[in-house]
Chain A
Amino acid sequence: MSFYILRRVLYAIPIAFGVSVVCFSLVYIAPGDPLQTVLPPDATAETIAIVKHAYGFDKPLPMQFLIWLGRVLTGNFGVSIATRRPVFLEVTDALSNTALLAMFAAPIAFLTGYVMGVVAGCFPGRWLDRVVTGAAVMGVSLPNYWLGIVLVIVFAVELMLLPATGMGPSGSTGFHIYEWSSAKFLVLPVATLAMIPIGILSRTTRAAVAEVRNQDFVQTLRAKGLSEWAVIRHVLKNSLPTVMAVMGLQFGYLIGGSILVETVFTWPGSGFLLSKAIINRDVPVLQGTILTLSLVFVATNLIVDLLQSLIDPRIGRA
């Protein structure tokens, strides 16, 4: 068991290394010189050489990578070209805002999706199952950026119940989660973000529950004379590892893949920061955000795998 945990943790290290290589090379797959954004178009060859040396671009690529990696490991992501603030602060601020959305969206989505999936899986082929399956297909097919716009049209433009974009009323300082004037800015983004995980989770839960119900041990439980409720309890317990794996993946997507929803709601999270960095060609922020988000994703997957091995002893032994 502890061997499995150790192996899994060690396995995450080369992955994290590979991720950092990809993030580093992002700058170099860009057409043209990465310095183009920093230098004025009429810079002389001499200025270019000086700036190149200052940024370390005159060294060979592997050297540059090692220097960059060394800086990143000590939390030094460089300085944003657009705001002149340290990238590390920009990213952590934005990440906390993204995490706030995920903290609300994840429980709502997981609970709704799980309950829907269990109900559908316990009554396969009945009308409840069809309703859930239909809703789930809609959930996974919805472009969430469009759903966000539709929700804004309904609740902000037509009904004028909720604010359309932003985080907190204009001029307010800080975000106060216990005050409705602040909290109401959360409602639409959270509802939009929750939609896809609900669809995916109810589909997987339904499939997992239906599959476990078809296994022989369920027949044995029934033959033993257990009540239907007790049988369902066994079924749920056995379908949990699959469901948890999907939940973990979806939580990672909520953190790392929220760029579209955050752009729709101009929510100052990591996704919004990323889309601003792309528009401004702000390379240090681009690198820093992508690296942080993907490392969070790697860490989430690791934690989920470990949790899974805790609830399902079969995994650790394999």
Chain B
Amino acid sequence: MKSHFKMSVIRAPSGTPGPTADKACTHTQHIGELLQGNPNLWRGCDMAGQGCHGRSTGFPQLDDILPGRGWPDRGLVEIISPCWGMGELQLLIPLMRSTVEQGKWILWISPPYLLYAPALVQAGINTGQVLVVERDTSCKDALWSMEKALQTENCGLVLAWQNWLPGKVLRRLQLAAAAGDTLGVLFKHRDSEHSPSLVRIQIRGSQSQRDRFTRSEVTVIKARGNFRPLTTHVDLYQQI
């Protein structure tokens, strides 16, 4: 490892005779690349040294600000939006597709409206691997179902709509997801500050007249591996 490092340092200046600022830039790049390959090195800016292992959200701008360039493999994710239907499911389409392709199932726990099968088919999600727990389920039962589903490895993705949950419950769900190697997504209206979930994303409607309200404001409030909240503006409905 060490010898490689030296060689690149020696080689770099001879190859690039440009100005000093450029040189410094290439050096940092080289060092960065070399360090990237080392699994023993923990770097704060990507998720526990996992590199780009995340599963894409389908929106490059959002991938850029997520550690691991996408959704984590397992754990709990919170998506916060002021009302349902702000484009939050658009972020999950590639994830749902890959889950189904892996032969795993998707469980929807008490979705707020009727889940519409033709939309799933259009998004390339096999409806044969989708299960829906009905809306009139009590909060307690819904959480119980979610925990059980998260513990089941074949249930790759669990989506649930719950408005307010105490941190203790969230932590329990997070642990269940970690144990079952599954990803749970919670949709909420309000953000709870000290949530133990891996990723917290807030979607706000566009406020600016300039882009004719097309680009929603997506904020990664928390992501394990990020230092501070990052915001980007994305047109969530690219296909429509």
Determine if chain A interacts with chain B: no
